[in-house]
Structure 1
Amino acid sequence: MDPVTAERAAARTTEPLTEYLQRVTQRVRAFDQRHPLVWDLHLTGFWVTAALIDYYGGGWRNVARNSHNPDWLILALSLGFSVPLLWRRSRPFGVLLAIVPVALVNSWTGAVLQAALLQLLVVFHIALRLRPRMLWWATVLITAPVVVTTVRHPKGTADQDIVPVLMSIAVAVAIGITVRTRRDYTEALEERARRLEIERDQQARLAAAAERARIAREMHDIIGHNLSVITGLADGGKYAAAKSPERAAQALHAIGTTSRQALGELRRLLDVLREEEKPDHAELTPQPTLTDLDQLLANVRAAGLPVRTTTHGNPTLPPGRQLTVYRVIQEALTNTLKHGGPGATAEIVLSYEDKGAVTATVTDTGNGGRPPGPGDGGRGLAGMRERTALYGGTLEAGPRPHPERGWRVHLHLPEESAQ
Structure 2
Amino acid sequence: MQHVLARVRAFDATRPWLWDGAVTATWTVAALVDATGGWRTTAQDPSVPSWLVVATTLALVLPLHLRRRRPVGALAAMACGALVSTVSGAFLQSAYLQAIPLFHIALNRPPRGLLWSTALLATPLAAGAVRFRTDAWNQHLAPALWAYALVALLGIAVRSRRDERAQEVRLAAAAERTRIAREMHDIIGHNLSVITGLADGGRYAAAKSPERAVQALDAIGTTSRQALAELRRLLGVLREDEEESADRAPQPGLADLPALIDGVRSAGLRVHADLSEAPRPLAPGAELTVYRVAQEALTNTLKHAGEGAEARVTLTYAPEDLTLTVTDTGRGRSGSTDRGPSDPPPRQPRPAGQGLTGMRERAALYDGTLECGPLPAGGGWRVRLRLPLEDTPS
When the two structures are superposed, what TM-score results if normalisation uses the length of structure 1? 0.63
Q: Match of 1:342, SS?
A: coil
CA drift at 1:416: 2.5
Q: Percent identity?
A: 51
- Which residues of structure 1 form unaligned runs of 5+? 1-15, 49-86, 100-117, 127-168
Q: Which has the larger radius of gyration?
A: 1
Deviations 1:97-122 (A, max 9, x none): x66xxxxxxxxxxxxxxxxxx335xx
Partner of 2:133: 119
One-letter amino acid matched to 1:239:
Y
CA drift at 1:208: 1.2
The alignment status of 1:364 with 2:349, answered yes or no, reads: no
Q: Match of 1:346, SS?
A: strand
- The root-mean-square deviation of aligned C-alpha atoms, in Å, is 3.0
CA drift at 1:92: 5.8
Q: Match of 2:241, SS?
A: coil
The alignment status of 1:323 with 2:288, answered yes or no, reads: yes
CA drift at 1:370: 2.5
After superposition, residues 195-206 of structure 1 pair within 5 angstroms as 195-206=160-171
Q: Select which of 109, 119, 123 maps to 1:90.
A: 123
One-letter amino acid matched to 2:75:
Q
The alignment status of 1:42 with 2:75, answered yes or no, reads: no
After superposition, residues 126-165 of structure 1 pair within 5 angstroms as 126=137
CA separation of 1:253/1:18 partners in 2, compared to 1, >3 Å: closer, same or farther? closer
The alignment status of 1:384 with 2:359, answered yes or no, reads: yes
Please give the alpha-carbon distance, in whole angstroms, between the structure 1 residues aligned to 2:383 and 2:228. 28
After superposition, residues 287-366 of structure 1 pair within 5 angstroms as 287-312=251-276, 314=278, 316-354=281-319, 357-366=321-330
One-letter amino acid matched to 1:294:
P
The alignment status of 1:412 with 2:394, answered yes or no, reads: no
Do 1:88 and 1:95's aligned partners in 2 also have CA atoms closer than 8 Å?
no
Deviations 1:37-91 (A, max 9, x none): 733663366349xxxxxxxxxxxxxxxxxxxxxxxxxxxxxxxxxxxxxx99439
The alignment status of 1:20 with 2:53, answered yes or no, reads: no
More helix by share: 1
CA separation of 1:28/1:39 partners in 2, compared to 1, >3 Å: closer, same or farther? farther
Do 2:236 and 2:242's aligned partners in 1 also have CA atoms closer than 8 Å?
no
CA separation of 1:408/1:211 partners in 2, compared to 1, >3 Å: closer, same or farther? same
CA separation of 1:38/1:186 partners in 2, compared to 1, >3 Å: closer, same or farther? closer
Q: Match of 1:204, SS?
A: helix
The alignment status of 1:238 with 2:203, answered yes or no, reads: yes
Please give the alpha-carbon distance, in whole angstroms, between the structure 2 residues aligned to 1:232 and 1:91. 82
Do 2:195 and 2:267's aligned partners in 1 also have CA atoms closer than 8 Å?
yes
Please give the alpha-carbon distance, in whole angstroms, between the structure 1 residues aligned to 2:275 and 2:122. 82
- Aligned residue pair count: 292
Do 1:32 and 1:39's aligned partners in 2 also have CA atoms closer than 8 Å?
no
Please give the alpha-carbon distance, in whole angstroms, between the structure 1 residues aligned to 2:189 and 2:387. 24
Please give the alpha-carbon distance, in whole angstroms, between the structure 2 residues aligned to 1:205 and 1:28. 30
CA drift at 1:182: 3.6
Partner of 1:400: 375
After superposition, residues 217-236 of structure 1 pair within 5 angstroms as 217-236=182-201
Please give the alpha-carbon distance, in whole angstroms, between the structure 1 residues aligned to 2:296 and 2:121. 75
When the two structures are superposed, what TM-score results if normalisation uses the length of structure 2? 0.67
CA drift at 1:284: 1.1
Partner of 2:109: none
One-letter amino acid matched to 1:119:
R
After superposition, residues 268-287 of structure 1 pair within 5 angstroms as 268-279=233-244, 283-287=247-251
Please give the alpha-carbon distance, in whole angstroms, between the structure 2 residues aligned to 1:47 and 1:417. 71
Deviations 1:358-391 (A, max 9, x none): 1111000001223322xxxx31100100100101
CA separation of 1:189/1:42 partners in 2, compared to 1, >3 Å: closer, same or farther? closer
One-letter amino acid matched to 2:355:
G
Q: Match of 1:119, SS?
A: coil
Deviations 1:298-354 (A, max 9, x none): 110000011111134535321111100000000000000000100000001111233
CA drift at 1:181: 4.0
CA separation of 1:18/1:198 partners in 2, compared to 1, >3 Å: closer, same or farther? closer
Deviations 1:112-163 (A, max 9, x none): xxxxxx335xx44x4xxxxxxxxxxxxxxxxxxxxxxxxxxxxxxxxxxxxx
Do 1:352 and 1:359's aligned partners in 2 also have CA atoms closer than 8 Å?
yes
Do 2:82 and 2:124's aligned partners in 1 also have CA atoms closer than 8 Å?
no
CA separation of 1:379/1:187 partners in 2, compared to 1, >3 Å: closer, same or farther? same
